[in-house]
Structure 1
Amino acid sequence: MYLSHLVEIINRGLSFTEAERRLRENGPNVPLDYSFPRWWNLLWTAFFHPFNIILIVLSVLSYITNDVPNGCIMLVLVFISVSLRFYQEYSSSKAAMKLSELVRCPVKVQRCAGRVVQTELIVQVDQRDVVPGDIVIFEPGDLFAGDVRLLSSKHLVVSQSSLTGESMATEKTADVREDQGTPLLDLKNICFMGTNVVSGSGTGLVVSTGPKTYMSTMFSAIGKKKPPDDFETGVRRISYVLIAVMLVVVTIIVLIDYFTSYNLSESVLFGISVASALTPQMLPLIVNISLAKGALSMARERCIVKSVTAIRYMGSMDILCIDKTGTLTMNRAIMVNHLDSRGSSKEKVLQFAFLNSYFKTDQKYPLDDAILAYVYTNGYRLQPSKWRKIDEIPFDFIRRRVSVILETDSHAEYGNLQLCERFMVTKGALEEVMKVCSFIEHIDKGEITNLSPEDYQRILSMAEEISNEGLRTIGVAIKRLKPKNGDRNLVDNETFESDMVFLGLITFYDPPKDTAKQALWRLAEKGVKAKVLTGDSLSLAIKVCKEVGIKTTHVITGPELELLDQDSFHETVKRAAVLARLTPTQKFRVVKSLQTVGNHVVGFLGDGVNDSLALDAANVGISVDSGVSVAKDFADIILLEKDLNVLVAGVEQGRRTFGNTMKYIKMSVIANIGSVVSLLISILVLQYEPLTPRELLTQNFLYSVGQIAIPWDKMEEDSVKTPQRWSKKGLPMFILWNGPVCTLCDRKFPSFRMLLHGPSSVLQW
C-alpha cells in the first residue's frame, strides 16, 4: 500500500492539502532560520554604551539639583548619538533585506487536484513553500529548492560552485545507479539545494528541505556571538578607568567644597559639573558620525554596509582571504589554444571544433560559446555557409561527447582529406573521444596512421601537463561517412562514433579579471596580505595567482591540511598564500587559525554557500549582490560590483575613520583629565571654586561642539598606509606624556595664572 501511494505521488505529485500539511509539519524551506535584527535590537545596541549611560545618570542628577540646561545638553548629545547609529544600521539592514527578497524565486512544482478525477497541474510556488515529496520541474537558470532525486533529465548540467567552490559545471543524469562509496557531492542522480541548472532540463523528487538539506549541515558553527575586538575592549577599559577616576575625584571635590562652603546642594552641583567635564561626552557621537560618514562614502563606491562597525574592521584588516572563482577570475570559459596530437597549434583542429559548435542545436554550452567567440574575434574565415547539417548525435553523460554530421557542396580540401561527402565531427571529454578513435592524423606530415598505445599515452600525458597549468581540455575527432543505399538523410548506425580519426585538443581557461592585479597590488601597498581559499584544483589556483601577482611559494590543499597536527596546521596556514580544494569547514578553520594564533584582523570575500561559515567567522565578511542569499545574510558588507578596487577604497575609509576616532579619544581624554586635575589642585590649594558650575559646563559644551568637525578632518597619508590597530600601550603613554602638559597649561591651574599675572593673582583668584 505504501509503495503504491509512493508511485502515485511520483506520477501525479502531492495534492494541495497534503502539501499544506507537510509545510506545517516541516516548516518553511530555508536552510537556516536567519532573521535580520529587529528595530528594537538595533536601538538597544546603539543606546547601550558606557558614556551614554554616564551622561543619562548625570543628566538625571542635574535635574535633581535644578540644573536643567546642563541636563538638557547631555540628553541632546545622547539622543543625537543614538539616533545617528540607529538610523545608519537600520537603513543598511533594510537594504540587505531587500536584496535577500530578490533571491526568492518561484519554483515549478507538479501538484494534483480534484475530488473524483485527480488532475496533474504545473504550478509556481515560492521556494519557501516547497515540501518533501514535491515534484519539481527545472530548466536552465533555475535554482534547486531542496535536495532532489532526479526522475528524468535531458542533457542536464548543474553548477555546484556554491557548495564546492569548483568553477566547472557537473553533469547530472537520472539514468544511473551510484555505488554506496561514492562521495555525496559526486552523485550523478542527486542535485542539492543552493545549486543551479546551467543547461538542460528535467524533473526531480524533493527528498529533503530546510534544515534537513545538505546545505544546512554547514551551519552548525554559525551564529555564535563574536568576542569584542581590541577597539571595543580598549574603549570600554577607558570608560571604566574614567568612571573610577570620576568617582574618586568628584567625591574629593564635593567633600572639600562642602567643608569650605557648607552648602551641600552647591557642592553636589559643582561635583556634577566636574563629572560632566571629565566625561568624553562626544565620544559615542564622534564614533557614530565617523562610521556613518564612512558608510556613506562606501555607498558612493557601490557597496552596502550592513554593520557600521565593519568599517572600523576594514581599517584594521591585515589579511584578506579571497575565494578565487568569480572574484579573481571572470567565472567564464575563454578558449586559449587548438593543439594537434604533438602539442602544436593547428588551425585544422580549430576548424572542426568550430563546425561542431556552430551546427549543434540540442544544447549550447559555455565551451561552445567560447569556441565561437574565439573564431569570430580572431578573424578566422571558416565559411560555415559552405556546410549543411545532416544529423546530430546529442551530448549525454554516459558518452560525454557530441557529434554532428555535416556535408559540403564544395571540394574544399583540408589537409589531404577532400570533404566532398558527409563527415562526422565529434568533440567532448578527451578520454571519451579517444575511446572511439582508431586512427590519428599527423597534420604536419599530412598522413593518418593507427592510434598506437604510445600515441594514446603521449596525448594523455600532454593533457595532464596542460591541466597542471590550470587549463581545461576537450578532444576533437573526425570521420568520413558514406550514405546508405544512396539515401542522403540516413546514416548507418554501425558507423556511429567508431574508428574515428583523432585530430587534437582545444584548451580553455577562466581568466583573471583585469582589475584584480591592480587591486591586489594596492592592497599589498597598504599592508593587507591576500590569501586565496578555494575549492578548485591547486594547479588552476596557482596559475590564476601567478597572473594576478600572488606569490605561490607556499601552497597546500585541503586533504593535506587534514593530515597535519594542530601546531603544524597553524604554522602552515600562516605561511601559505594559496589553499586549494578546501571544504567549507576547512575555510572556517583557516580563518579562525589566523585570528586566534596569528592575532590578525581577517576579512573574507566570498559569495557561495560554501563560504558562509568563513564569512560568519571573519572579522569582516564581504559578499556581492549576485551571491547566494545565505552568504549575503552573514556578510557585513555587500558589494554591488565584484571589483576588489572597491575594497581598497573601503580599507582607506576604515583607516580614516579609525584615525579620526582615535584623534578625538586622545584629545578628549587628556583635555578632560588635565582639566579635572587642575580643578582638583586649585581647590586643594585655594579652597575655592575657580569656575562656577554654569561656567564650567558652558566651557565644556563649547569645547565639545567644536569637536564635531573631527570626522571630516583629513588624515595624513602615512596613517592610511598601514593597518590601524588599537594599541594597549599607545594611549596610556600618550596620556602620561601629554596629561601633565595639559594640566600645566590649563587656565584653571594656579601655576599657569601665576605665570601670566604674578603671584598675587593666585591669591586674588
Structure 2
Amino acid sequence: MAEGSEKIEEVFADVDSSEKGLTEEQVRERLDKYGMNELKETKKTTTKDVFVRQFKNFIIWVLIAAAFLSLLVEEVINFWVIMVITFIVVMLGFFQEYRAEKAMESLQKIVQPETTVVREGKPRNIKTKEIVPGDILVLESGDKISGDAVVFESVALRVDESALTGESHPVGKGKSEKIFAGTQVVHGKCRAVVVNTGMDTKLGQIAGLIQVKSEDTPLQKKIANLSRSLAILALVASLFTLVLGLVEGAPLEEMLLIAIALAVGAVPEGLPLTMTLTLAFGMRQMAHHKAIIRKMLAVETLGSTDIICTDKTGTLTRNEMTVEKIFVNENIIEVTGSGYAPKGEFLKDEQQFDVKQDPTVERLLQAIALCNNSSLEKRGDEWDVVGDPTEIALTVAAAKADFWKDDLEDSQPRTEEVTFTSERKQMTTVHEREGSLISFTKGAPETVLDGCDRMEISGESVSLNDEKRKHIMDKNMEFASSAYRVLGIAYREDPDMSSEDAIEQNMVFLGLVAMIDPPREEVKEAVSTSHKAGIKVVMITGDNQETAKAIGASIGLFDHRAECGIPAHVNVADEEKVRRIMEDCAVTGQELDELDDEEFEVLADHINIYARTMPEQKLRIVKTLQKNGHIVAMTGDGVNDAPALKKADIGIAMGIKGTDVSKESSVMVLQDDNFATIVEAVKRGRAIYDNIEKFTTYLISRNFTEVILILLGITLLGFELIPLLALQILFINMFSEIMPSIGLGLDPPEKGVMDRAPRDPKESILNRRNLVMMVSNAVVMASAAFLVFISSNPAENTQLARTLTFATVVSMILFVPFAFRSLEKSIFSRGFFTNRVMLGGVVVSFLLTLSAMYIPFLSEVFELVPLSLQQWLLPLGVAFCTMLAIEGVKAVTRGVK
C-alpha cells in the first residue's frame, strides 16, 4: 500500500460516514464541533499597521518638518495648527485605508469557493468552508482539494501536490490513498471521504507559508512617486527662496515662515488619500456589477484593453443547453420543451413518436444518460441539477423519455470511465449489463466517427461506408450552421479493455444529438458597445466552426467587416491558405497548428473566431496578439487556461464554472460568467482612470496656484507682502481641496466613455494635455488671486488684502472643481448637480472656510477679518471668471494627448 494510504473501511468508521455521505443533522453537529473549513490568517493587517502606514507618506514628514520650523522661530500657533492639520490628514488617511481594507475583505467574501459533495446520497454544491469531516468530495480535473481526504473511488487520478511538497510532477493516486487540502486535481476524477478540515489539515499546519504579502500596484506607485516628486520640488523651491531672501538681507525668522508657506503650498496632501478612496470605491462598484477585481492593477489596465478573447459557452451564451434535435436512423426527431425540467415530447415528421418502439433510439437515449456525470433531482417544486450544462441537457432529454439516470445506473452499474479531455474530445463509460460489458461514448462527431466501423439503424448493425460517413457529417454541418452544438453517440458491446484507446475502437455509431445554448440577450449590445469603444471581440470555443460562426453572426461579432478583410499585402509562403482562413474570419485549432508564427502574426489581427481549439492554444493566441501590440483580456475556466490567464494583460476567470486554479491565475473574476459584465468592467475601469486624471490635475493645479501666488508676491512686492500666510495655505489645502478632489475621484462615468479608442498604456497620468492644463490653470488661478491682492491695496491694509485673496482662492472651489469633471467636455455638458458627492463636499468645504473667517478665535489664529456681503462680490466674481478661463484652456487643449 502506498505511503499515506489507509484501509477505507476503517476510515469510514473513524469519521462515522459512508459512501452516501452525511445527513444535514450530522453536518450541523460537526460544524459546531470542528468549526468552518478555513485557515486562520497568521499575519493579518491590523489597525495599528494601517495607522503606521500613514507615516510612510513623504508628504506627512514635510508637514511635520514645517511645524517644527515654525516652533524654531517661536511661531507657536503655527506649530500647533500645522500639527493639528497634519493629524487630521493622518486620521483621514487612516480611516479611508481602514475602510478600503475592510472593503477588500468583504470583496473576498463575495467570491466564496464551492465544492461538490455527496450528502444523503445526492450530489450537492456547497460552500467550501462548510465542509466537515465525513463529507464525500466529488472531484474532477481542475478542482482544488478542500480538505484532507482518503480516496475510495478514482479514475486516472493525478494530483499536483507542489503547493505542499515542491514536487512539480503530478502524483498518481488510487483507492485508499490520501489527498491533501490545497492541492489540485490535474487529471481524472475521484470520490474521497474527508478526514480533516481547516487548521487540522496538513496545509493548516504550515498555514503561515501561504500568507501573501500585499504590494502596491504600479498605479499606486506612480501616484506615490508623483507625490514625492512634488514634495521634493516644494522643498527645493522653499530652500531656494530661503537662500535668496537671506542673501538679500531678509530676517531669518521671516524667511523661514515664507519657506514654510511655499513648502505647504506645493505639497499635495490629498493626493494619496484621494487615490486610495477612488480605487476602493471603484472596486466596490465593480463588485456590485458582478466583476471582482483581485488585483488593483487591473483597474489601470482595463482602460487600455483593445481585444477581449472570450469563451462562448456560458459567457456569450446562457449556459442552459437544451436538446432539440436527434439524428438517428437517418431521420431527425424533434424534442420539445426547454430548460432543465424533464417535460417534453419527441416528434417525427411533426407527429408524436414513441421512442421505446425503436431499439436504436432507445439505446441512444440510454447512452446519453449513462455516459454522463450530471445529476437531476426534484426538490419540492424545483428541479435541482448538478454538473456540466451539456451533460445536464442530455440527462434531461433522456428523462423526457422516462429513462432516468439513477434507475439506469442501478441496472447497468458503471465499472470504468475514460474521461473527457480537450485533446481527445470524447468521453466513454463502461457498464456491466447481464453479465457482460457495454461501453457508451459521446463527443465531437468527427472524433467519435473515427472510432466507429459500423452504425445501427432500427436495431440492425450495418457497415459504416464513406457515403454514410459523409451523410452524417453533412447533417452535423447543417446543425452546426444553425448554432447547434452537436455530439456524436456510439456504443460497443464487450469492449476491448486492454487500454483506453482500445475501448474507443470498433464502435457502433448511433446518431447525433443537437442542442442549443442561445446567446444571452444583453450580449449583442455589449459586443456593439465594445466595437464602438475600439475593442475587438474574439470568440474562442471548442465547438464546431459553423456553430461558432452562427452564434457570432447572431451577436454582431462581424459588424466591423474591416476587422476580417484580407490584408492588402500577405507576406507569407502559403498565401492561398491564409486567404482561405480569412474569408470567414475564423480558424480551427487544427488550422492554427498548421500556421507558422509568421503566418499567424499576419492573421491574428483579422480573426474573430477560433473554433475546435484546445485550451493550450489560448496561450499562443495571447502571445501573438501581444506581440502585435495589443492589450489583451482573456477569459478562462479550466486548469489548462491558467497559463493564458496569467500571460494575458487582464486574465478573467469564470466565477460560476471556473476552477480554483483559473481564479487564482486571474486578476478579475466574473460572478455571473457574463460577457456583458466584462464590457461593464472595462467601462468602469476607464471611468476610474479618468477620475484619477481629473483629481490629479485638479489638485496639482490648486497646489501650484498657491506656489505661483507666493512667488509673484515675493518677486513683485517684496518679502513683507506675501499674499497668503503658511497657515492660510495649509487650511485651503486641507479643507478646500481634498473634499472636492474626493468628489472628482467618485465621479460617475462620463457619457461617451465607451465611444473612444482605448488609452495608450504607456501614457502618463500627466500627459501633454493634462500638463498643459495643470500649468495653464495654475497660472490663471494664481494671476486672478494676485490681481485681487494688489487691487486691495495690501501696503495699507495687509490683513484685509490677504483675507480677500483667501476668499478668492476659497471661492474657486464653488466653480473650478466642476470644470474638472471633464478634461475635454464643457462644464455645461456635465452639469453642476449630477455629482452629489462633489456638491456636498464643495458646500461643506465652503462652510468650513467661512468658519475660519467669522468665528473670532479661528479668524485670530488664521489672521483673517470678516468680510461684508459687498466685499464678497469681488472674490466670487473673480472665481466665476476663473472657471470660464479654465473652460477656455480646455477648449484650446481639447484633443491634445
TM interval, short-chain normalised: 0.5 to 0.7
Task: Quote the offset at 1:665 in angstroms.
Answer: 1.6
Task: Quote the offset at 1:272 in angstroms.
Answer: 1.8
| Alpha-carbon distance in 1 for matches of 2:53, 2:546 | 46
Please name the residue that 1:632 is paired with: 663
| Alpha-carbon distance in 2 for matches of 1:468, 1:287 | 50
Task: Quote the offset at 1:461 in angstroms.
Answer: 3.8
Please name the residue that 2:533 is paired with: 526
Which structure 2 residues correspond to residues 714-733 of structure 1 after superposition, within 5 A?
A: 714=748, 716-722=750-756, 723-724=758-759, 727-728=763-764, 731-733=767-769
| Alpha-carbon distance in 2 for matches of 1:59, 1:559 | 71
| Alpha-carbon distance in 2 for matches of 1:741, 1:159 | 64
- Does residue 560 (structure 1) correspond to residue 577 (structure 2)? The answer is no
Q: Tell me: CA distance 1:314–1:527, structure 2 relative to 1, closer, same or farther (3 Å).
A: same
- Post-superposition CA distance 1:567-624 (Å, at most 9, x none): 66655544443445666665456545555x4554443433333333344444444434
| Alpha-carbon distance in 1 for matches of 2:391, 2:712 | 84
| Alpha-carbon distance in 1 for matches of 2:280, 2:103 | 11
Q: Tell me: CA distance 1:593–1:680, structure 2 relative to 1, closer, same or farther (3 Å).
A: farther
TM value normalised by structure 1: 0.64
Q: Tell me: CA distance 1:522–1:59, structure 2 relative to 1, closer, same or farther (3 Å).
A: farther
| Alpha-carbon distance in 1 for matches of 2:49, 2:633 | 25
- Post-superposition CA distance 1:634-656 (Å, at most 9, x none): 44443332233333333333333
| Alpha-carbon distance in 2 for matches of 1:503, 1:356 | 8
Q: Which residue type is aligned with residue 703 of structure 2?
A: N
Contact kept? 1:357, 1:371, Cα under 8 Å: no
- Post-superposition CA distance 1:5-24 (Å, at most 9, x none): 999979988999xxxxxxxx
Q: Which residue type is aligned with residue 668 of structure 1?
A: L
Please name the residue that 1:645 is paired with: 676
| Alpha-carbon distance in 1 for matches of 2:92, 2:321 | 52
Q: Tell me: CA distance 1:393–1:291, structure 2 relative to 1, closer, same or farther (3 Å).
A: closer
- Does residue 603 (structure 1) correspond to residue 642 (structure 2)? The answer is no
Contact kept? 1:584, 1:613, Cα under 8 Å: no
Give the counterpart of 1:457 among 469, 475, 487: 469
Task: Quote the offset at 1:427 in angstroms.
Answer: 7.5
Contact kept? 1:477, 1:500, Cα under 8 Å: yes
Please name the residue that 2:108 is paired with: 96
Q: Which residue type is aligned with residue 264 of structure 2?
A: S
Please name the residue that 1:69 is paired with: 81
Contact kept? 1:357, 1:368, Cα under 8 Å: no
Which structure 2 residues correspond to residues 688-699 of structure 1 after superposition, within 5 A?
A: 688=719, 689-690=721-722, 691-699=724-732
Q: Tell me: CA distance 1:157–1:78, structure 2 relative to 1, closer, same or farther (3 Å).
A: same
Contact kept? 1:608, 1:631, Cα under 8 Å: yes
Q: Helix, strand or coil for the counterpart of 2:537?
A: strand
Q: Which residue type is aligned with residue 282 of structure 1?
A: G
Count of matched residue pairs? 643
Q: Tell me: CA distance 1:335–1:524, structure 2 relative to 1, closer, same or farther (3 Å).
A: same
| Alpha-carbon distance in 2 for matches of 1:456, 1:438 | 9
Q: Tell me: CA distance 1:588–1:94, structure 2 relative to 1, closer, same or farther (3 Å).
A: farther
Give the counterpart of 1:335 among 313, 318, 323: 323
Q: Which residue type is aligned with residue 260 of structure 2?
A: I
Contact kept? 1:88, 1:308, Cα under 8 Å: no
- Does residue 505 (structure 1) correspond to residue 512 (structure 2)? The answer is yes
Give the counterpart of 1:711 among 729, 745, 748: 745
Contact kept? 2:300, 2:685, Cα under 8 Å: yes
Which structure 2 residues correspond to residues 209-288 of structure 1 after superposition, within 5 A?
A: 229=218, 235=223, 238-239=226-227, 241-259=229-247, 262-288=250-276
Mean CA deviation greater in 262-271 or 608-617: 608-617
- Post-superposition CA distance 1:672-718 (Å, at most 9, x none): 22431232132122212423323333333343144443234455413
Which structure 2 residues correspond to residues 38-117 of structure 1 after superposition, within 5 A?
A: 38=45, 48=56, 51=59, 54-55=62-63, 58=66, 61=69, 66=76, 67=78, 68-93=80-105, 95-96=107-108, 99=111, 102-103=113-114
- Does residue 746 (structure 1) correspond to residue 782 (structure 2)? The answer is yes
Q: Helix, strand or coil for the counterpart of 2:596?
A: coil
| Alpha-carbon distance in 1 for matches of 2:750, 2:677 | 21
Which structure 2 residues correspond to residues 412-423 of structure 1 after superposition, within 5 A?
A: none
Task: Quote the offset at 1:553 in angstroms.
Answer: 0.9
What RMSD, in angstroms, separates the aligned Cα atoms of the two structures? 6.2
Greater relative CO, 1 or 2 (CA 8 Å, sep 6+): 1
Q: Which residue type is aligned with residue 254 of structure 1?
A: L
Q: Tell me: CA distance 1:687–1:294, structure 2 relative to 1, closer, same or farther (3 Å).
A: same
| Alpha-carbon distance in 2 for matches of 1:540, 1:717 | 36
Contact kept? 1:338, 1:350, Cα under 8 Å: no
Contact kept? 1:656, 1:715, Cα under 8 Å: yes
Percent sequence identity is: 19
Give the counterpart of 2:277 among 263, 283, 289: 289
Please name the residue that 2:487 is paired with: 473
Which structure 2 residues correspond to residues 380-399 of structure 1 after superposition, within 5 A?
A: none
Q: Tell me: CA distance 1:724–1:761, structure 2 relative to 1, closer, same or farther (3 Å).
A: farther
- Post-superposition CA distance 1:552-575 (Å, at most 9, x none): 61546388369634x666555444
| Alpha-carbon distance in 1 for matches of 2:13, 2:293 | 44
Q: Helix, strand or coil for the counterpart of 2:736?
A: helix
Q: Which residue type is aligned with residue 700 of structure 2?
A: V
Mean CA deviation greater in 431-440 or 453-462: 431-440
Q: Which residue type is aligned with residue 507 of structure 1?
A: A
Contact kept? 1:439, 1:500, Cα under 8 Å: no
Please name the residue that 1:549 is paired with: 556
Contact kept? 2:364, 2:510, Cα under 8 Å: no
Q: Tell me: CA distance 1:8–1:703, structure 2 relative to 1, closer, same or farther (3 Å).
A: closer
| Alpha-carbon distance in 1 for matches of 2:370, 2:489 | 19
- Post-superposition CA distance 1:83-103 (Å, at most 9, x none): 313432443245426855x54
| Alpha-carbon distance in 2 for matches of 1:629, 1:41 | 30
Q: Tell me: CA distance 1:637–1:477, structure 2 relative to 1, closer, same or farther (3 Å).
A: closer
Q: Which residue type is aligned with residue 694 of structure 1?
A: L
Structure 1, unaligned stretches of length 5 or more?
A: 17-29, 109-124, 163-182, 205-222, 406-424, 443-447, 480-498
Give the counterpart of 2:393 among 370, 390, 402: 370
Which structure 2 residues correspond to residues 170-189 of structure 1 after superposition, within 5 A?
A: none
Contact kept? 2:655, 2:671, Cα under 8 Å: yes
| Alpha-carbon distance in 1 for matches of 2:49, 2:616 | 30
Task: Quote the offset at 1:79 in angstroms.
Answer: 3.2
Please name the residue that 2:569 is paired with: none
Structure 2, unaligned stretches of length 5 or more?
A: 15-36, 120-127, 161-168, 195-211, 335-346, 375-389, 419-427, 494-505, 559-583, 802-897
Q: Which residue type is aligned with residue 524 of structure 1?
A: H
- Post-superposition CA distance 1:457-500 (Å, at most 9, x none): 33454466469757333348999xxxxxxxxxxxxxxxxxxx99
Contact kept? 1:743, 1:749, Cα under 8 Å: no
Q: Tell me: CA distance 1:613–1:225, structure 2 relative to 1, closer, same or farther (3 Å).
A: farther
Q: Which residue type is aligned with residue 291 of structure 1?
A: L
- Post-superposition CA distance 1:33-89 (Å, at most 9, x none): 999975588778787555456556555655666432123213422432343134324
Give the counterpart of 1:656 among 687, 706, 719: 687
Task: Quote the offset at 1:128 in angstroms.
Answer: 12
Contact kept? 1:359, 1:404, Cα under 8 Å: no
Mean CA deviation greater in 681-690 or 517-526: 517-526
Q: Which residue type is aligned with residue 288 of structure 2?
A: R
Contact kept? 1:515, 1:643, Cα under 8 Å: no
Q: Which residue type is aligned with residue 630 of structure 1?
A: V
Q: Which residue type is aligned with residue 607 of structure 1?
A: D
Q: Tell me: CA distance 1:151–1:686, structure 2 relative to 1, closer, same or farther (3 Å).
A: closer
Please name the residue that 1:210 is paired with: none
Mean CA deviation greater in 709-718 or 344-353: 344-353
